[in-house]
Structure 1
Amino acid sequence: MSGDTLQLRHHRPFVAFWFARICTAGSFQMLTVAIGWHLYSLTGNVLDLGLVGLVEFLPRVLFMLHTGHVADRYDRRRVAALCQTGQGLIALVLLVGSLNQAVTRELIFILAFCLGTARAFEQPTTQALLPNIVPPSIFPRAIAAAASAMQGATIIAPALGGLLYALGAGWVYGPAVVLYGIAILLVTSLPARQTPSQKEKPTLDNLLAGIRFIRSRPDVLGAISLDLFAVLLGGATALLPVFAADILLTGPWGLGLLRSAPAVGALGMSFLLAYVSLNRHVGRIMFGSVALFGVATIAFGLSTSLWFSLGTLVVLGAADMVSVVIRSSFVQLETPDAMRGRVSAVNGLFIGASNQLGEFESGVTAHFFGTVPAVVLGGVGTLVITGVWMKLFPGLAKRDRLTEPRQDG
């Protein structure tokens, strides 16, 4: 256990990858806080917060088949750097626009679509890049350690973004530009250990290979679809500006703390999973963590105390991290390198649907039923989905180990 951990710490390409994840995650979280508060201050419409999530999600659907193929056909380092360059330019546009008081509702939606497009190509690329950096023997711990980088940035960046936004929107967008620049330098410094499939043409059959592969693995299909529907119903992050302003009676700094709280729990859990392997009863552990996610969502929806709300979000983040590590290990370890990009693209669509589309669902239900009922009903829906999925995927519920020998050869 300790030897594997030391191996990660002294693995230079992984360290560069780890710091790049901190920069990109931090930049994105700062942008998310600023954009959410900026939009709500412009319109005061809770539905717009949900629409931003929908706009960011649309590129995942529109370009899903192509994002994975790009990650498999071209140098993943260059693809990731290009995507990060695009996100940095978006932050730069917001910086200039905020300094000139030129940021409008329409501009935010346009930039949200561009941001979603860049991330739609970046996520499957970086997910498929990690197995090219570390050996399979320590890959599950590498996933947890990489997730700790993202969650660590997610703790600091939203709180910092909320504090900086109090000084002006430009104080958030400027640092985001710098962090994206650092990430580009780190990603391009990684060694080239991938053999891009330059001769493979983007036929429909090749583009759909990722979908067919996931369908052929019931445990993988069950894990990622559980995450899709559970988080789709239970996600409440889009409504955090409303909770901060109207229910918990705080300001941008409080919103930053609320957005950071799930990452506190996720970071603690990722550190634990980086040192302690999930060796037995992983199916039950995953379903239990998703159920706990639903309970924490309900508790958050009913809370009127900032500190209790922060506590429920910490629990929510820790529970979600368990599912993330299990699902990511399934997908990456059981997928050949030549098609990891396409499979990661499908997995990314599920993740995006559970996050961005979940934000849209939360915004719509809050618009029609109210903010608190929307969150509580979402948590109840997560518990229902957990029970149904245990019946639909009994093999996943009974799965003992994280990685098992394949049964289909």
Structure 2
Amino acid sequence: MTDDTQRATASDGGFARVLRSPGALRLVGSLFVLETGSAMTTVGLPLLVMQRYGLGLEVGFTLAARFLPNILLGALAGQVVDRHDPRRVATLAALGSGLAAALFPLTTAMWQIQLLALAIGVGYMFGFPAAMALRPRVIPEGSELEGNGLIVTAERVPKLLGPAVAGPIAAVAGVNWLFAAEAATALAAAALLTRLPQAAGTGAAESRGAGPDGAGTVAGAVGRRLSAWTRAMATGARDLVRMVRGDGRLSSLTITAFTYMAALGLGRTFLAAYSLRDFDHVPGMLGYLLAAMGLGGALGGMAAAAFRSWNQGWVYVLGNALEGVCWVALMATGDWYVALALLFVAGVFESVASVVYFAEVQKRLPTGLQGRYYATLVPLSDVFLVAGTVAGGVLVDRAGVTPGAVLVGLAMAVPVLVLAGRLVPERPAPAAKARPREAESTPA
């Protein structure tokens, strides 16, 4: 089904238009099953390492390996998504990640586990921007808020469902079966992606460059990729600035995405210390706190559409600021059920703000730049996430848990409040047809 057909047959707004789009449902379903499998591996991977090699730095290094491809090579993924059909890129990324997960039980050395973790990171590096680039193809025009709400929900629910399913599987069948489960979900996700419509002109774009000058040879291909990587690493951040400049809301959304990731890194360290200090009498409290946030996030993704009549800048500012208030408010209670309720509400606010973010980027950025935007954004965001996590370990250890909560809240609320003047005013999104020419001149 083409974009024109979807838009011609959609006569009303809201979720009904998205639910009548088979492509949108397949994309949402693919993300859901893929994220569910990934969440199970997130539980299984540290367990596998600890069972075989004990607890130590190896666990941290192994988990960090999944972030390295995005940090080092993420900009290259944008080049690939730009030049090839994002449906095919996302499908191959899902299959590659599933294959790597299935091989974990067969490893015999730590370096093999770390190499497979690195391979999963490579799959995510290509898969996420490709999936984001598919959204304009399958979400009907005018239903960006509802469509992105479903996508955020499809990403949030697995963070609650995956660990909940992983526990019984590991207890009954063993840790190895968690990796088999991700392999199965990756295969299902790839099958759903293959049913999505193919973009017009993709084949020509993919074959571009082959010719008598050696571009079709292996050496030529390797040379092109190395050259593309070098240019991408050198110009990634500059390209991101070019994509968002001239649009105050879009540039402010991008800036606060980075600061939020740093706050999230701080929050991860804080929650671990908080659960041990205040709830050492409640076994597994950290898991319950994270699950409460996951549940709130899942519901918040669906609730975002209720605010479609509001100024979306205000929804984004309030969502982030009130989430920060919830984190600080944790220090005012010693009751476990109040703490769970606060983090549930924080998850709702976070998810609502995320839906607005994704919807605004989709509306304000030309379709041809969607993949490159996220391919550049994600690796830079991972840098902020890692920096926040490392800083959190030092700050919480030296300053204490209570100042840690305040720092998390401030890191979430202050940036959006400072930039509220650019986030809140309602300005029309730049014409999508006026900006691709600028994108074409951007170094590839």
Alignment TM-score, normalising by the size of structure 1: 0.82
Q: Which residue of 2 aligns with 1:19?
A: 29
- Per-residue CA shift, 1:194-243, capped at 9, x if unaligned? 54444488594886544411233331121122132133124434676777
Q: Which residue of 2 aligns with 1:264?
A: 295
Q: In the alignment, is residue 278 of structure 1 matched against residue 342 of structure 2?
A: no
Contact 2:169/2:175 (8 A) holds in 1: yes
Q: Which residue of 2 aligns with 1:78?
A: 88
Which 5+ residue runs of structure 2 have no aligned equivalent?
Answer: 1-10, 210-223, 435-444
Which 5+ residue runs of structure 1 have no aligned equivalent?
Answer: none
Match 1:334 to one of 345, 364, 375: 364
Q: In the alignment, is residue 229 of structure 1 matched against residue 259 of structure 2?
A: yes
Deviation at 1:353, TM superposition (A): 4.0
- 1:223/1:142 CA distance change after superposition, 3 Å: same
Contact 1:27/1:176 (8 A) holds in 2: yes
Contact 2:307/2:315 (8 A) holds in 1: no
Q: In the alignment, is residue 175 of structure 1 matched against residue 181 of structure 2?
A: yes
- 1:43/1:370 CA distance change after superposition, 3 Å: farther
Contact 2:93/2:123 (8 A) holds in 1: yes
Q: Which residue of 2 aligns with 1:63?
A: 73
Alpha-carbon separation, structure 1, partners of 2:64 and 2:241: 22
Alpha-carbon separation, structure 1, partners of 2:94 and 2:45: 18
- Per-residue CA shift, 1:308-346, capped at 9, x if unaligned? 443233122111112211211222222222222111212
Alpha-carbon separation, structure 1, partners of 2:403 and 2:115: 27
Deviation at 1:20, TM superposition (A): 0.5
Match of 1:166, SS state, is helix
- 1:133/1:181 CA distance change after superposition, 3 Å: same
Deviation at 1:124, TM superposition (A): 0.8
Q: In the alignment, is residue 140 of structure 1 matched against residue 111 of structure 2?
A: no
Match 1:348 to one of 378, 387, 390: 378
Deviation at 1:251, TM superposition (A): 5.9
Q: In the alignment, is residue 406 of structure 1 matched against residue 430 of structure 2?
A: yes
Q: 5 Å matches for 1:106-185?
A: 107-167=112-172, 168-185=174-191
Q: Which residue of 2 aligns with 1:369?
A: 398
Contact 2:23/2:196 (8 A) holds in 1: yes
Deviation at 1:74, TM superposition (A): 0.6
- Per-residue CA shift, 1:131-154, capped at 9, x if unaligned? 111222112211111212222222
- One-letter identity of the residue aligned with 1:183: A
- 1:118/1:340 CA distance change after superposition, 3 Å: same
- One-letter identity of the residue aligned with 1:379: V
* Greater displacement, 186-195 / 127-136: 186-195
- Structure number with greater CO (CA < 8 Å, separation at least 6) is 1
Deviation at 1:245, TM superposition (A): 7.5
Q: In the alignment, is residue 192 of structure 1 matched against residue 198 of structure 2?
A: yes
Contact 1:132/1:194 (8 A) holds in 2: no
- Per-residue CA shift, 1:98-127, capped at 9, x if unaligned? xxxx474x5554433332222111111100
Match of 2:181, SS state, is helix
* Greater displacement, 136-145 / 30-39: 30-39
- 1:63/1:17 CA distance change after superposition, 3 Å: same
Q: Which residue of 2 aligns with 1:5?
A: 15
- 1:3/1:395 CA distance change after superposition, 3 Å: closer
CA RMSD, Structure 1 to Structure 2 (Å): 3.5
Answer with 1 or 2: which has the greater Rg.
2
Deviation at 1:94, TM superposition (A): 2.2
- 1:152/1:345 CA distance change after superposition, 3 Å: same
Q: Which residue of 2 aligns with 1:291?
A: 321
Deviation at 1:22, TM superposition (A): 0.9
